[in-house]
Structure 1
């Protein structure tokens, strides 16, 4: 809903007209659980701006090749995600910029790769959170890098699995440097020491990549020869 705009309610006919679909389609989506039930006042059903946003999202995802079953699965994963306040926890990231996306914009970032499993993995990692009908990615930088890797042919599932494993090592490195700084400085100047710690990690990682990328992979072991037949 646009800022400063008063929330609206719609009868089914008005909702269908605003969404550019038929009343029959609205009813079908409601029966399939793709939109939540309306507010009832006697025999009148009232829909609101969130219903309209969901209908527009469904239309946008259908245009991008998603099926209704797939959209329903995405909606289930989306609705099970933590909200942005819970993910941000102690506050917004110091150096990362969160970015707000519609479900259609997320689908455009990762064309064909926004599946319920991938969405759930990103929600579990805390990369994505919900804020009403919007999705919030915790880091513009991670979003752009993930999309670039997918464009290079790396499946999004593999990117997210690598991120999950990197998280373990990143936490260990952060704990190591935090301990060093607390042990050897009385009042750590985090603005000064933080980039120094990051430079050590980035340099070591760059050297490690050199070692691994320049070393050809070992050829697979030859299959065992067949056992001689008993004679």
Structure 2
């Protein structure tokens, strides 16, 4: 592929692709005279970069991760790794100014609002040369709806921290299961490109089913708590 074709396949502009190449995020192209040619490995690396960016990693962090990969990593192995890194949400992280954050929230946020939203993990602030920048977490919109309800702030804080604590532990345990029981066995096999793509599709479907299972499990558990409470009464 030419750099134009590579960029189109990765969903990037040519300028961005060249910038990533200058950072060493993809290996040098094959030179034939004055032309530079790129292959499937370059595309797999760019797709990995986009997957990591979807989790909010900086380019510096991504560079460190890619440099830690075993030399000669096969395209299929990169595809499996990328499938593991794929975001559980459709949209990537946002980088907003204070004015843009207020527009995103639909109202002017007070300093107290910002402090609370940061405390419960729904907002990350980064101080830059351009001033403070804000990255809303997935769930920010739900937090805004909670703040609009006529309930004490302590109730919002307590509920949010409880959800964060238990979901963090659940996500870590499920990731360990996925890694040990699914990905490790797969990496021991010599997957073809088609097989690696099927693994990506399988993991994408598994993410959807897991989210549905979590909601269903919570509903069942909540009903059991209510039933026990009524029985005690």
TM-score, L = length of structure 1: 0.43
Name the one with the larger helix percent.
2
